[in-house]
Structure 1
């Protein structure tokens, strides 16, 4: 199975990683996506947020979390006392996977396969090595399972503080829902309040 590993340079410089990611052909998603959507934020960030994949807005803009889910995330971060400008945000998969509606116009999000998540994992690993965050907040099942394994269930363990495995032992991780799930929730107000509570729990693990 091919993956992104051969495209990832041996560097912790985020600009070089971002430039190299633009040419990644580690899986087939690049063929239909507009561009690679790499992570964004300061290398000194103590917190890294990891989502599933870029959406339509992100694919067009070339930046993560700039669409409706991103705006909700911005509000939730503010309400939990976190300055987004000091956070690094990225996704487990760097290309937008989609299908089209019946008229062939609107692009509809599709969940990336496990193969695609694994293929893209070298980029996420490189971002973790470059930023070395103290806390990683995993937004949704795809993000959580990309780092914590396929047996991890967000529905059972959301808000729980765990350690990242492997080379990143010592960094804490907290899994919660993806902001897009809140936008679809029947009781959006409660879903949002629960999400903010998860973020507040997560940031309490940071050392002063």
Structure 2
């Protein structure tokens, strides 16, 4: 018999209630990633679900040693219900291949599980989640982490850094530095692929991409 879906609270978690890497004591962790993904579809921890097509859970190996955390689903991820399948995902796939990281041996997810956007004609433009939305959604990220038990977590972009480490940090100054997380995991930070897609300077874009490849290579080495 399948385990019952966990009760999802109707109110967001208050900032500062838990330490990074811990689940609220009043909510049980889903028994597996499939149940977590199903439970996410009825999440009401913040208001982002109202304008999103669906919640987008992480995917990949359930025992991955490396977890890669992005910021939030984009337009294509929101429609398909899968993380990193849009232009930024294609760039990440390329960087992972260059770094020797097998995507099928990792777990990729996002800090925020619903697409935050604003309409602009027929387009839906990305909006950065605020701190409260990141905090409210952190329960899901922590639950994924509890289930997968990665040895290394690579946070891509400022929103992911906030979700993983519980505080903001300048990526340019902290990338390449190992940081301890709860549960004996190692945390690293790097640039989000979408950051490169927005860069008009080809040389700056190439440098950021090379640094992302280096950070993926280091994360994979530490996870081995």
TM-score normalised to the size of structure 1? 0.91
* Separation in structure 1 between the aligned mates of residue 60 and residue 50 of structure 2, nearest angstrom: 26
Change (3 A) 1:118 1:35: same
Partner of 2:20: none
> 2:212 matched to 1:195?
yes
1:38 alignment partner, SS class: coil
Q: Please, which of 152, 171, 188 is the counterpart of residue 154 of structure 1? A: 171
| C-alpha separation in 2, matches of 1:60 and 1:11 | 24
Which of 76-85 and 151-160 deviates more?
A: 151-160
Contact 1:163 1:172 in 2 (8 A): yes
Match of 1:169 in 2: 183
Q: How does 1:35-74 map to 2 (within 5 A)?
A: 35-74=54-93
Secondary structure of the 2:54 match is coil
Distance 2:172 2:138 in 1: 23
C-alpha deviation, 1:199, in angstroms: 1.2
Paired residues, number: 202
* Alpha-carbon distance in 2 for matches of 1:31, 1:8: 23
Show structure 2 runs of 5+ residues with no match: 1-9, 14-23
Per the alignment, in what secondary structure is the counterpart of residue 66 of structure 1?
coil
Q: CA deviation at 1:171?
A: 0.6
The answer on whether the counterparts of 2:191 and 2:208 sit within 8 Å (CA) in structure 1 is no
Provide the C-alpha distance between the structure 2 equivalents of 1:71 and 1:9, rounded to a whole number of angstroms. Answer: 34
Residue 152 of structure 2 is matched in structure 1 by 135
- 1:8 & 1:97 partners in 2: Cα distance? 25
2: CA distance, partners of 1:33 / 1:6: 28
Contact kept? 1:80, 1:199, Cα under 8 Å: yes
Q: Aligned pair in 2 of structure 1 residues 7, 111: CA closer, same or farther (>3 Å)?
A: farther
CA drift at 1:10:
3.1
The whole-number CA distance in structure 2 between the counterparts of 1:140 and 1:203 is: 18
Q: Distance in 1 between matches of 2:140 and 2:94?
A: 27
Q: Is the 8 A contact 1:157 1:175 kept in 2?
A: yes
TM-score between both structures, scaled by the size of structure 2: 0.85
The yes-or-no answer on 1:183 pairing with 2:197 is yes
- Supply the distance in 2 between the matched residues of 1:110 and 1:90 (Cα, whole angstroms): 18
